[in-house]
Amino acid sequence: MPELRRDPIVGRWVIISTERGKRPSDFGPTQTAKKSGFCPFCPGNEEKTPPEVYSIRSDGGRPDTPGWDVRVVSNKFPALQIEGELLRKAEGIYDKMNGIGAHEVIIETTEHDDDLADLPVAQVARVIRACRERITDLSKDKRFRYIQIFKNHGEAAGASLEHSHMQLIATPIVPRRTVELLNGFLQHFQLKERCILCDIVDQERTAARRVVAENEDFICFEPFAARFPFETWVMPKKHQASFEEMRDDQILSFSALLCETLQRINVTLNRPPFNFVLHTSPLNEWKEEHHFHWYVEIMPKLTKVAGFEWGTGFYINPTPPEEAAEHLRAAGAFLPNAGRNGVGAEAPGDLLREV
Amino acid sequence: MPELRRDPIVGRWVIISTERGKRPSDFGPTQTAKKSGFCPFCPGNEEKTPPEVYSIRSDGGRPDTPGWDVRVVSNKFPALQIEGELLRKAEGIYDKMNGIGAHEVIIETTEHDDDLADLPVAQVARVIRACRERITDLSKDKRFRYIQIFKNHGEAAGASLEHSHMQLIATPIVPRRTVELLNGFLQHFQLKERCILCDIVDQERTAARRVVAENEDFICFEPFAARFPFETWVMPKKHQASFEEMRDDQILSFSALLCETLQRINVTLNRPPFNFVLHTSPLNEWKEEHHFHWYVEIMPKLTKVAGFEWGTGFYINPTPPEEAAEHLRAAGAFLPNAGRNGVGAEAPGDLLREV
């Protein structure tokens, strides 16, 4: 059973995965992902993963057999464990609890070599729908307070398997970064009775300098205080607290803008490794009162986080977000699939039906 | 002039270094440090760095000539700029100010190929003394609120020059991580009228499981809620708020334990890349009331920080700190210089005089 431990000074929780128990010799001098010819996420290898917890199968078919479009399975090496009780305990002045949670993998495509950005918008929309369904389902488990969806693309971003996938981790505590965001939203609301991210969207649309692209429902821009070069946010233009509140038509327009954004990043930065994280409302009793506005943060891995950043939480960004936005806007002319699959265009009706 | 910008939701400040202004093509697919034969930190090349602001020269000699033991110069590409006014400004709902600060480099040795861990304790003590003198001097500048000393060792830890050095950045605001620490110290003090890190030192010495080594004044242990495998803290056993309060004899025993700790890490993990950061009291008016206890955090770079960590601030540590401590204790038998230069031994009087 992994253990959750709380830092006694700043209150940060960490997951100590005792069962992985890495020894000094497990950390090589260079950490290259082992690439074997075998991929557990490819169709036909369904029995090599834990059983599927959800799938989208437009042509039908039984679970754990080929024929799926998107497949969600438990992580074979989960950071947290689904069975058991929380059991909060003290160890002298320290606090700990059992590492309870869920850790799932969302396999985005049957094609081993396709990246998320290369998929047709309708397929990206299926992936996003699968995320929505998993959040909705897992939020019924009252032990969980937050669900984090994220993607590590490329070795430098921490991906250990090539085949394009996202991950989901449900945690029994609201993570520290989410608490900071919640406090920020709440503070602004108490002062202004408005959502701070709605205010930000307004200011960005007026200033226009940092906006990369938008469609009817969603906007993509470079944040004013970007920590990383080409850090990019995608969010609903109208207030929406939780990702899982998205309607089917919103899923389609979100997928179109997300796909377009990733393509712009690929064109501009030559397919960089990146991390993608979803920030959304916590679950259950935490949900109502905090005026959260969900958004997705895309962080291309172009620079290394070093001692100063670790020590201070202060980031040095060598590319002003205004310049990054200019490059990403200019990339519009070179999008590989512009017009072909709905990117940059209004979502056509047949795509909507297909989702 | 670099710009300091504040994230409007969570209040995090970032440095946007407009003058570096990196374009997309500046980020290569692989970021290998360019190794030329020339090193600006080697003796004889003093004119290739900005003028020295401090040096230790046991044999005398003029500034910016060979003959130094430790040399401190301004960073040639500073993240913050020493000249100018803060000029706090609004940009709609956003906050920004001029990027005022100091950014210095502490060159630890004249020998291009020696790492900090390889130096005689007396030389490490000179480096630490140089750090103390620079903090004391810069804290007279009332624009500064915090001074961060850190070290990036190895390319994976963000080092761009091989020749062993530390860096110092003075900032006009107290960084977010320091504020979190200050709040943690203050909260515990208000509750218990004791320092939380003094309590932690007590509990660790009693439990002993996570202790790596100690001498009369300092202790080294793996923290209970370590974020990273082999994350290691070194700190004074008796309460001391600020690093720069260290007396000369304490500098020597700190240097001995720091050196020994780095050697244990090198033996155990085959000379890994690492980051080293000093957490110490903020300057001036922030200093008195917060009950800070200074410490050094050493973070070997063995795993990659990925989407989950970025999204949540929640870390997954695959090596329990108790196991890491066991490995580091066992490394004691294999320390390269044990006994030779004071490592693991009581500090001999001649070393003390030499510092």
- Mean pLDDT for each consecutive 10-residue tract of chain A (355 residues)? 93 84 71 66 96 94 96 94 92 95 97 95 98 97 94 91 96 91 93 95 97 97 96 97 96 97 96 95 75 95 88 90 96 74 43 42
Question: Which residues in chain B are closer than 8 Å to A291, comparing Cβ atoms?
Answer: none
Q: Do A308 and B150 touch (CB under 8 A)?
A: yes
CB B11 within 8 A of CB A310: no
Supply the pTM of this predicted model: 0.91
B315 close to A (CB below 8 A): yes
pLDDT of residue B20: 57
Q: Which of B207, B202, B231 is nearest to B296 (CA)?
A: B231
Query: Helix or strand or coil: residue A5?
Result: strand
A308 close to B (CB below 8 A): yes
**How far from each other are the two terminal CA atoms of chain A, in whole angstroms?**
39
pLDDT of residue A59: 87
CB B278 within 8 A of CB B298: no
Q: Which of B183, B149, B180 is nearest to B295 (CA)?
A: B149
CB A268 within 8 A of CB A295: no
pLDDT of residue B290: 66
Residue indicated by tokens 């690093």: B243
Q: How many CB atoms lie within 10 A of CB A40?
A: 16
Question: Which residues in chain A are closer than 8 Å to B328, comparing Cβ atoms?
Answer: none
Query: How far is B59 from B67, CA to CA, in rounded Å?
Result: 7
ipTM of the complex: 0.88
Q: How many CB atoms lie within 10 A of CB A186?
A: 15
What is the spatial order of strands in the sheet that A94-98 belongs to?
A89-91, A94-98, A3-6, A13-16, B315-317
Counting one residue from chain A and one from chain B, the pairs whose CB atoms sit within 8 A come to 288
pLDDT of residue B314: 87
Residue A333 CB burial class (10 angstroms; 0-12, 13-18, ≥19)? exposed
DSSP summary character for residue B100 = B
Candidates B177, B203, B297; nearest CB to A92: B203
Question: Which residues in chain A are closer than 8 Å to B31, comparing Cβ atoms?
Answer: 303-304
Residues near A335 by beta carbon (within 8 Å), at least 6 away in sequence: A260, A263, A264, A267, A343, A344
pLDDT in tens, B186-211: 999 999 999 999 999 999 999 999 99
pLDDT of residue B44: 96
Q: Which of B129, B202, B145, B161 is nearest to B42 (CA)?
A: B161
| Structure tokens given for B205 | 């010495």
Cα dihedral B243, B229, B30, A325, rounded to 10, equals -70
User: Given A103, A153, A163, A165, which residue is catalytic?
Assistant: A165
Distance of CA A308 to the CA centre of its chain: 26
Question: Which residues in chain A are closer than 8 Å to B167, comparing Cβ atoms?
Answer: 307-308
CB B225 within 8 A of CB A12: yes
pLDDT in tens, A25-61: 887 644 444 456 899 999 999 999 999 999 999 988 9
- Window 197-256 of A, Cβ < 8 Å to B: 197, 199-200, 203, 207, 223-227, 229-230
Question: Which residues in chain B are closer than 8 Å to A31, comparing Cβ atoms?
Answer: 302-304
CB B137 within 8 A of CB B271: no
Largest CA distance in chain B: 62
Q: Do B223 and A317 touch (CB under 8 A)?
A: no
User: What DSSP element (H or E) covers A168?
Assistant: strand A165-171
Tens of each residue's pLDDT in chain B, 355 residues? 899 999 999 999 999 987 756 788 888 644 444 456 899 999 999 999 999 999 999 988 999 999 999 999 999 989 999 999 989 999 999 999 999 999 999 999 999 999 999 999 999 999 999 999 999 999 999 999 999 999 999 988 988 899 999 999 999 999 989 999 999 999 999 999 999 999 999 999 999 999 999 999 999 999 999 999 999 999 999 999 999 999 999 999 999 999 999 999 999 999 999 999 999 999 976 666 668 999 999 999 998 888 888 888 889 999 999 999 999 999 999 887 554 444 444 444 444 444 3
Q: Which of B306, B299, B304 is nearest to B272 (CA)?
A: B299
CB B78 within 8 A of CB B103: yes
| Structure tokens given for A223 | 């944040």
Q: Which of B18, B27, B274 would you mutate first to test chain A, the one with the most A CBs within 10 A?
A: B27
pLDDT of residue A26: 81
- Window 145-164 of A, Cβ < 8 Å to B: 146, 148, 150-152, 156-159
A310 close to B (CB below 8 A): yes
Q: Which of B4, B12, B13, B16 would you mutate first to test chain A, the one with the most A CBs within 10 A?
A: B16
Q: Which of B116, B171, B317, B322 would you mutate first to test chain A, the one with the most A CBs within 10 A?
A: B317
pLDDT of residue B336: 75
Q: Which of B5, B11, B8, B7 is nearest to B179 (CA)?
A: B11
User: Given B103, B163, B165, B291, which residue is catalytic?
Assistant: B165
Amino acid at A331: A
Q: Do B327 and A23 touch (CB under 8 A)?
A: yes
Residue indicated by tokens 């090589």: A28
Residues near A99 by beta carbon (within 8 Å), at least 6 away in sequence: A1, A2, A3, A4, A15, A16, A17, A79, A80, A81
| Structure tokens given for B163 | 């020749």
B77 close to A (CB below 8 A): no
Beta strand ranges found along B80-180 (DSSP E): 89-91, 94-98, 102-107, 146-153, 165-171
Q: Which of A163, A110, A171, A98 is nearest to A135 (CA)?
A: A171
Candidates B225, B314, B327; nearest CB to A175: B314
B153 part of the active site: no
Q: Do A175 and B150 touch (CB under 8 A)?
A: no
Residue indicated by tokens 């233009």: A237
Helix axes B176-192, B196-207, angle to 10 degrees: 80
Q: Which of A291, A167, A168, A299 is nearest to A233 (CA)?
A: A299
CA distances to A297, A330, B108, B160 from A300, in Å: 10, 18, 33, 20
Q: Do B318 and A185 touch (CB under 8 A)?
A: no
Q: What is the least distance, in Å, from the CA of A118 to any CA of chain B? A: 19
Query: How far is A161 from A153, CA to CA, in rounded Å?
Result: 9
- Window 18-57 of B, Cβ < 8 Å to A: 18, 20-24, 27, 29, 31
- The domains located in chain A, with CATH, are 38-78+101-354 (3.30.428.10)
pLDDT of residue A27: 79
Question: Which residues in chain A are closer than 8 Å to B15, comparing Cβ atoms?
Answer: 314-317
Query: How far is A132 from A10, CA to CA, in rounded Å?
Result: 32
User: What DSSP element (H or E) covers A48?
Assistant: none
Question: Which residues in chain B are closer than 8 Å to A200, comparing Cβ atoms?
Answer: 8, 93
